[in-house]
Chain A
């Protein structure tokens, strides 16, 4: 039986489901056991997508202890022997995946943007050198294939007809850094099968069961450390909305370096957000939080207005699911132009002025 484990990132919510698309490209979904590991209570909306959700009841601090989370998943791996473990390449996902791969002595490929199978071998594709190169990588280790996947690249539109069993692990004795083991089983299998479907469970409402386990880990085990990270405070940064959620982005590059604030003028009537290329971030003109590209954010707006952006590979890497790109550039052969539906040949600052005027003219 092929088993695959997906790590459910607390902050990604349903976004974790896009990882199932990665699984789908590697294995026949209806023949495998799909498991998930969560450290926060799994949302109801995730039920039906997995056969098992292993929920480790972590404290707020434990959710930031990458090595602790890795040891929970390691324990799971020792029981279940996954063929593949997939995590989102996000803050804790990256750290936890790396710590876990080191524990298991297996290979880990970061920031995967595509997977394929060639000669029966699973190959993972990732950008390197700021996206100038794409690298095709295989796992050489004996352990499971491990990867972190760049968020926002994949999309899963499949069904959610699995009968999900949630297995809850109480993590006792946080102070002692141990996980106590005793397997109490509670509420075993409360399935409501759709009788008409025979033994195949097709209904997704409530056919999930819960098990409660208390895991124990010998206090003397090597990986008891990891409990030394304690969360003291968590505040929201005062920041603009997230460019990842924007429907329309007005984005600036080197060609608007002296007039970056002008972008907001055009963004306003379009209801758009302003983003930037790395060049302007490096020059201190724009904050990193609005940087698009491999080292910035992957964005998927419906419309991307690239103003004075050259379109280096690493920038284009961040434009995975953009529906329409309009670029304005004095150089019509800039790489960004080959991705664009409309290329306006000319000065971007002038363009902002003219288009803003045109839009406002119609409004009045």
Chain B
């Protein structure tokens, strides 16, 4: 089975830089992290590889400087990694991103695509279903457990969570699966000996020369949505009362609760 893991390297949400004039993220030379749910997705793929054999390819889109993160996935057990990187792709919205990723995945070949259901930065949850649509594959997100379906020739079993419902699905391949952060899949630590190993021969960079999008099809120009402006969220100050954590303060809170009917006197 060929598994492709979609991984997004995101700006550390605590310290990100945003170009307010151009309305794009400045991703170069800034502290970045692997989107946590995407790590779970790679862990899920490696688990499947261990249990029933699979070839795992990690695919990511972003600047060339992201190569180091992808090499680490190979050190963790992935077979190879593909970084899709081209100046033309910068500023793409989810629709264009999905088209680019789908093309990259098609080039790699796949039976199963696994990614994180959400990313911490954009958090639209749209890319995987759109990739599924473009690849003509099945889609299920919020998956907490995934395993091969022994009963079916080409299929998997997936547990998903929808709020309080726990759902079990039989899904035929090809399929795109969004892993939930609740899944408990965790990447193992990289073995000390592997840290220094050169993995660059197993990492490939794909540019638009391979993907062949026309001018205007990608980036801001090809996007179907446009960010007009962004602004830090502000909240207006409410009339407020500051009290101390002493008897008078507690009494004030208590009387407030009583007055608003939050306490039943009986």
Binding site for B on A (CB under 8 A): 11, 64-67, 70, 91-92, 94-99, 101-103, 105-111, 123, 127-141, 222-223, 225-226, 228-237, 239, 242, 248, 269-270, 288-289, 294-295, 302-303, 313, 316-317, 324, 326, 328, 332, 335, 337-347, 350-351, 354-355, 358-359, 362
Contacts and interface: CB of A to CB of B under 8 A. Distances in A.
A131 B234 CA distance: 10
Contacts of A106: 95, 224
Contacts of A317: 233
Contacts of B163: 11, 91, 242
A64 B167 contact: yes
A129 B223 CA distance: 20
Contact of B168 (A103, A133, A232, A345): A232
Contacts of B238: 338-341
B125 A98 contact: yes
Given A108-B94, A358-B251, A138 B225 contact: yes
Contacts of A332: 242
B130 A344 contact: no
A99 B132 contact: yes
Nearest to B18: A133
Given A67-B139, A99-B133, A129-B16, A351 B250 contact: yes
Contacts of A132: 13, 16, 232-233
B245 A347 contact: yes
Contacts of B253: 326, 342, 344, 355
Contacts of A232: 157, 168-170
Interface SS, B side: mixed
For chain B, the bracket of interface size reads 35 or more
B125 A133 contact: no
Contact of A130 (B120, B130, B235, B262): B120
B197 interface: no
A295 B164 contact: no
B243 A98 contact: no
B177 to A, nearest CB: 11
